[in-house]
Structure 1
Amino acid sequence: MGGARAAAARGQAPHGRRRVVARPAGAPGRPARSGGCAAVSRTRRKPGRWRGARAVALAALEGVLDRRGWARGLLQRQPGFDALSARDRALALELVHGVLRMLRLLRHLLEQVSGRRIERIDPRARTLALLGIYQLLWLERVPAHAAIHETVALAGGRKRRGFVNAVLRALQRNLAGFAASAPAELPPGRVVPLRPDRFALLRSAWLPDWSQPEAHALGIAFSHPDALVERWLERLGPERTRAVLAADNAPPPVFLRARRGRTDAQALVQELAAEGIAAHRWDELPDAVLLEQRIAPSELAAVREGRASVQDATAQAAALAVHETPLAVPATPPERVADLCAAPGGKACYLAELFGERAEVWAVDRDAARLERLRENVERLGLTDRIRIEVRDARSIGAQTPPFDRVLLDAPCSNTGVLRRRPEARWRFGPGALASLTALQAQLLEAACRLVRPGGILVYSTCSIEHEENAGACERLLERERGWRLVEQRCTLPAIDGPDGGFHAVFERRG
């Protein structure tokens, strides 16, 4: 018998790993397990407490993986999502975002535990197995038996249930425990980096050696595409690349922005403390407050009642640059300020708060649906008389529109600075997508330049950390457009318990 066939006969994959063979519970040579597939089908147990959240997450994940839309929108449109409790909606969101964030690592683990190539696994069984693996490794609060039972219960057919059950129990057998840091005595292949403060310890080595600065191994262990890891290693070096990879997989921090005129950062910290919520001022910015515990911002009275907004520190810094940069030629009050690509409106609202009655703020975006969120924020913050909302493409604004004193262009980008918040964006990154984005950014920058009066300023910002979209875009702008001067530029890398990654540059149009 050949080597591969002999291995198969021993219940192993051809490459030597033990192969998962899904047998019906009670089959010859294998006793039925309590809670196994047959038990699920016979007893018709009442659906578990969180099965609704898992079912909604499963449907949304299948839509995202089929490229039918983005995660949050697909999840919120799923039948049954609105009927979930707030706690179950949070679980569904965590499952979807978590699986998408760790998709490459999860697929690698599934191949290791099953002995099958990922493309040879039934799509529904594959997605369920990924959901189950994520729960077993990442969700400490969900008991392992509940994660397995409730996930298997969604599988449908007997064969599919058997496969998912076998995969999850095989993973459970190879799991030796968890640690807050990577043990130095274990080889890297037996250590799975789940979060910066949580590592899974395996009995057998299933990962490549990710201790070395090698893009493929780091890409698997930290669940990023090789293309991103390679470019970061080349530009940032191994140490900073590892820091970015870890930050991308960490829970995103929540920054609040105190609503000027209604409160300030210190008063907001005190209000939160009175509600039992720990927070502190972010000293680098005048209105920024960082929450020290995880809580849904919608549960905060300050947010609901318009004394605060959710906005990351890097985004606040870009809006502040628009306000704080002095004009070479003073404006005639009130100043004219435009936020192009404004939806959902965080920066436009901050600009209206910063300038008060000293400026008229235009919020321009071509997406009418996303501008509805801006209108909601404008009303919540009491800014209806300070912001003019325009549904139009910034590139279509013609010479008949009077020029502006200050323009902010927060351009569409690859989102590589905010991958922890937009987990599927990492899987849509590639040379073609990057080329399309840089072409669009160039068109928008050209349009923005036409809207700034002599002596005015233009602030260009992205939530990317890629050179082509940031400093490279600025260099190309200065090559194309005469009469402009680069005042400053700043690129921020994402940090654990710190700001998102992003970029902004300030240009002055010479008078």
Structure 2
Amino acid sequence: MNNAWKKRRQPRRPSKPADTSETLPLEDHLHSGRMLAWFALQRYDDTGRFLSEILTDSDSLHALSGQDRGLAVDVASGVVRRRRTIDTLLESQISRPRSNVEPDLWRLLQLGVFQVVFSRTPEHAAVDTTVELAKQIGCSRWCGFANGVLRNVARLVGEATTDEPASNTLPTSGGTYRRLEQAIFPDPAVDLPEYVGRVFSLPRSLARRWSGRLSRSDLLTTCFASLQIPETCLRINRVAATVNHVQTALTEHGVEVLPGHNPWSLRLPHAARITELPGYAEGWWSVQDESAMLAAELLAPQPGEKILDLCAAPGGKSTHLAELSRDTAEITACDVSEHRLRRVQESVNRLQFGSIETVLISRDGEDIPSGPYDAVLVDVPCSNTGVLSRRPEARWRFREDELAELVQLQTRLLLTAMDHVRPGGRIVYSTCSIEPEETTELVANVASLVPELTVQSQQLQLPGQPADGAFQAVLQRA
């Protein structure tokens, strides 16, 4: 899925208090992972940029170890992912209005609550390090207030668990709920959308959407999946290696490896420095979720075929097409972003494929190499609602008005794919959204408008069943 096709829009940033004060400058004081996390959250609130971009740009400002930087990534991402829930917990323990709490202090409390409630950090350590962070920031006057609030939150969240949602329960990462000492959430039996929105940290519009169309079981599975820290999934390059060969090399390197649900995949349950693992430089594997692997597999590229990947960056599906065709097809990988297209070429070079040509095209698509093509893959820009666990900011970027614009773009891209495929050729429409407007409804609408286009098959994977959420449809031109 390539969002370079989308127009840049300032995202909605949830739960940010009214702020008329300047944020504290910390560039010269990034001496710990927690300080870097706090700094990243500050920049995220001020600019709306992706955390990954902020943290990458901040690397020149500190000399933290990989472990400390990893802590910053985990904490900052966790706060953004769980922000609506964290704010509800805080608001239940603070008597003053939110608008009367300094924004930088509120960010500090968010960071502390995440560690107290959702991380593996012992309670006393989470509280003490947050109070110490207030001193490092230069705001010792916050210490007493922060200490009291965080200890109250810790007392609120008990250790007892249950399998049923309630107004006094909080979902855990293990699929169960922790009991609270008081009911601070809506009663799910009375207002299910508001309950799942608050406890699973979803915007109201998305919580209403999912609650309105998913069964209770699918709703809760999808919501739990949106909070999980995702495993890293490796797609084995069958041209260069075997699954057993890669698994053995990783195991000997001390990496825990689990079999994937796809026969050509492996799962890494723990975070690792990907570029330092055996087989990365050699091109034995790529990182790709198993639901994303389905797109190229459904297109089923054959040796000698002429194939177009219309929205190719960052290149995972283009290189998968090359693997499936044993590097003997003729694959044209197009994108509208020169920067992102370079990432495609880097992957092509690392995996040592000769069948992929990268082509920079304009947004109107007028300069797409004409073809005609035997098969076209169109992995469209989307709302990302199937991959919220991987993209912590995505839930807060979901907007109904932007969804309508996305559907227009997705429709245009699918029609463009149809224009470039030969008669009798096939198209795979792919997205990591699970919203009907971007999936089943869009495909049905296009098929009704274009009589020569028929839907051969389509499938929707909900998040957590067992991988990321995604949708693919196979269409054929008469």
What TM-score range do you get, normalising by the shorter chain? 0.7 to 0.9
1:337 lines up with 2:317 in the alignment = no
Give deviations 1:358-380, integer Å, cap 9, x for gaps: 21111111112222222222222
Q: In the aligned structure 2, how far is the partner of 1:59 from the partner of 1:452? A: 49
1:152 lines up with 2:134 in the alignment = yes
Q: CA deviation at 1:292?
A: 4.0
What is the aligned partner in structure 1 of residue 149 from structure 2?
A: 167
1:308 lines up with 2:308 in the alignment = no
Match of 1:458 among 420, 427, 430: 427
Give deviations 1:322-369, integer Å, cap 9, x for gaps: 126x8xxxxxx7321111211111111111121134211111111122
Q: CA deviation at 1:154?
A: 4.2
Q: CA deviation at 1:201?
A: 4.3
Amino acid at match of 1:95: V
Contact 2:131 2:146 (C-alpha < 8 Å) held by counterparts: no
Q: Which moved more, 1:83-92 or 1:467-476?
A: 83-92
Unaligned runs of 5+ in 2: 1-28
Alignment of 1:357-436 (within 5 A): 357-383=327-353, 385-393=354-362, 395-398=364-367, 401-436=370-405
Amino acid at match of 2:78: G
Give deviations 1:140-168, integer Å, cap 9, x for gaps: 14533443333323443344444333322
Amino acid at match of 1:369: H
Q: In the aligned structure 2, how far is the partner of 1:82 from the partner of 1:346? A: 32
1:57 lines up with 2:25 in the alignment = no
What is the aligned partner in structure 1 of residue 467 from structure 2?
A: 499
Q: In the aligned structure 1, how far is the partner of 2:348 from the partner of 2:374? A: 22
Q: In the aligned structure 2, how far is the partner of 1:116 from the partner of 1:415? A: 36
Contact 1:222 1:246 (C-alpha < 8 Å) held by counterparts: yes
Contact 1:51 1:150 (C-alpha < 8 Å) held by counterparts: no
Match of 2:218 among 240, 253, 266: 240
TM-score by length of 1: 0.81
Summarize the Cα distance change of 1:104–1:201 in structure 2 as closer, same or farther, 3 Å threshold: same
What is the aligned partner in structure 1 of residue 183 from structure 2?
A: 205
What is the aligned partner in structure 1 of residue 11 from structure 2?
A: none
3-state SS of the aligned residue for 2:152?
helix
3-state SS of the aligned residue for 2:306?
strand
Contact 1:460 1:504 (C-alpha < 8 Å) held by counterparts: yes
3-state SS of the aligned residue for 1:396?
coil
Q: CA deviation at 1:423?
A: 1.4
Alignment of 1:98-109 (within 5 A): 98-109=78-89
Q: CA deviation at 1:106?
A: 0.7
Contact 2:127 2:150 (C-alpha < 8 Å) held by counterparts: no
3-state SS of the aligned residue for 1:207?
coil
Summarize the Cα distance change of 1:166–1:61 in structure 2 as closer, same or farther, 3 Å threshold: same
Q: Which moved more, 1:271-280 or 1:306-315?
A: 271-280
Summarize the Cα distance change of 1:474–1:304 in structure 2 as closer, same or farther, 3 Å threshold: same
Q: CA deviation at 1:298?
A: 3.3
Amino acid at match of 1:309: S
Q: In the aligned structure 2, how far is the partner of 1:212 from the partner of 1:421? A: 31
Q: More relative contact order in 1 or in 2 (CA 8 Å, sep 6+)?
A: 2
What is the aligned partner in structure 1 of residue 437 from structure 2?
A: 468
Q: CA deviation at 1:66?
A: 3.2
Give deviations 1:248-292, integer Å, cap 9, x for gaps: 111112211111121122332333333343334334x33122234
Give deviations 1:408-455, integer Å, cap 9, x for gaps: 111000000000001111112121121111111112112111111111
Q: In the aligned structure 2, how far is the partner of 1:262 from the partner of 1:304? A: 12
What is the aligned partner in structure 2 of residue 8 from structure 1?
A: none
What is the aligned partner in structure 2 of residue 477 from structure 1?
A: 446
Q: CA deviation at 1:217?
A: 1.4
Amino acid at match of 2:72: A
Summarize the Cα distance change of 1:150–1:397 in structure 2 as closer, same or farther, 3 Å threshold: farther
What is the aligned partner in structure 2 of residue 323 from structure 1?
A: 300
Alignment of 1:3-152 (within 5 A): 52-78=32-58, 80=60, 83-141=63-121, 143-152=125-134
Summarize the Cα distance change of 1:161–1:132 in structure 2 as closer, same or farther, 3 Å threshold: same
3-state SS of the aligned residue for 1:487?
strand
**Number of residue pairs matched by the alignment:** 448
Q: In the aligned structure 1, how far is the partner of 2:187 from the partner of 2:368? A: 58
3-state SS of the aligned residue for 1:414?
coil
Amino acid at match of 2:87: R
Q: In the aligned structure 2, how far is the partner of 1:434 from the partner of 1:172? A: 39
Q: In the aligned structure 1, how far is the partner of 2:393 from the partner of 2:46? A: 12
3-state SS of the aligned residue for 1:84?
coil
Unaligned runs of 5+ in 1: 1-46, 327-332
Amino acid at match of 2:134: V
1:214 lines up with 2:192 in the alignment = yes
TM-score by length of 2: 0.87
Contact 2:236 2:285 (C-alpha < 8 Å) held by counterparts: yes
Q: CA deviation at 1:77?
A: 1.1
Q: CA deviation at 1:313?
A: 0.3
Q: In the aligned structure 1, how far is the partner of 2:270 from the partner of 2:190? A: 33
Summarize the Cα distance change of 1:175–1:232 in structure 2 as closer, same or farther, 3 Å threshold: closer
What is the aligned partner in structure 1 of residue 25 from structure 2?
A: none
Contact 1:152 1:165 (C-alpha < 8 Å) held by counterparts: no
Amino acid at match of 1:377: S
3-state SS of the aligned residue for 2:358?
strand
Structure possessing the higher radius of gyration over alpha carbons: 1
Q: In the aligned structure 1, how far is the partner of 2:131 from the partner of 2:276? A: 32
Contact 1:340 1:394 (C-alpha < 8 Å) held by counterparts: no
Q: Percent identity?
A: 34
Contact 1:189 1:208 (C-alpha < 8 Å) held by counterparts: yes
3-state SS of the aligned residue for 1:338?
strand
Q: In the aligned structure 2, how far is the partner of 1:308 from the partner of 1:472? A: 35
Q: In the aligned structure 1, how far is the partner of 2:112 from the partner of 2:373? A: 54
